Amino acid sequence: MGAGKMKQMPLDTLKRLRRHELEVVEKAFGEAVARETAAEAVLSKAHLLLIQEQGLASDPQADDDAVEAFSRWLPVGQRAIADAQELCREAALDRDCLRSALLMAQAALKAVEKLQDKQRLEMNYLALRREQAALDELALRQRADRKST
C-alpha cells in the first residue's frame, strides 16, 4: 500500500465517523421537532378547551351550576395551559440545541470532505510531478544516448 493510501485511511475513517454522528443528530433533531409539534398540539387543545368551557359558562341560557362548574374547572384549565406552555418552551429549547448540534455535525463532515479533497489534489500533484520527473529523466537519457553514439 502506498504512502498516499495510508494517509487517506484515517480521513476515510473520520469521514465515516462524522457521517454517523450527523445521522444520529439528524434523527435526534427530527424527534425534537416532533416533540415540539406534539407540545404545540397539546397547548392548542388546552386553549380550545378553555374557550369551549368559557363559552358554555357565558351562554345566556347557562344556569348557575354551569358557571360554578366553570369557576371550579378554570384553575385546572389554566394549569393545563401553563404546563403545555412549559412543554412547548422546553421542546423549543431542545430543538434549538439540536439544531446547533446539527449545524456543527454538518460543518465537521464538510471539513473532513474538504481535507480529503485537498489531500487528493496534493496526491495528484505529486503523481504528476513524479511523472514529469520520469519523463525529464527519460529525455535526458535519450539525449545522453544520442550524444554517446
Give the pLDDT confidence of 44-74 residue by residue, as tens digits: 999 999 999 999 899 889 898 988 999 999 9
pLDDT band per the 50, 70, 90 thresholds, residue 5: low
Average pLDDT over residues 73-97: 97
Query: Residue 77 in contact with residue 49, Cβ under 8 Å?
Result: yes
Specify the pTM: 0.72
d(CA 18, CA 10): 12
| Position 21 pLDDT exceeds 90 | yes
Q: What is the pLDDT of residue 70?
A: 93
H or E stretch at 95? helix 64-148
| pLDDT band at 1; cut points 50, 70, 90 | very low
- What residues contact 52, with CB distance under 8 A and at least 6 apart? none
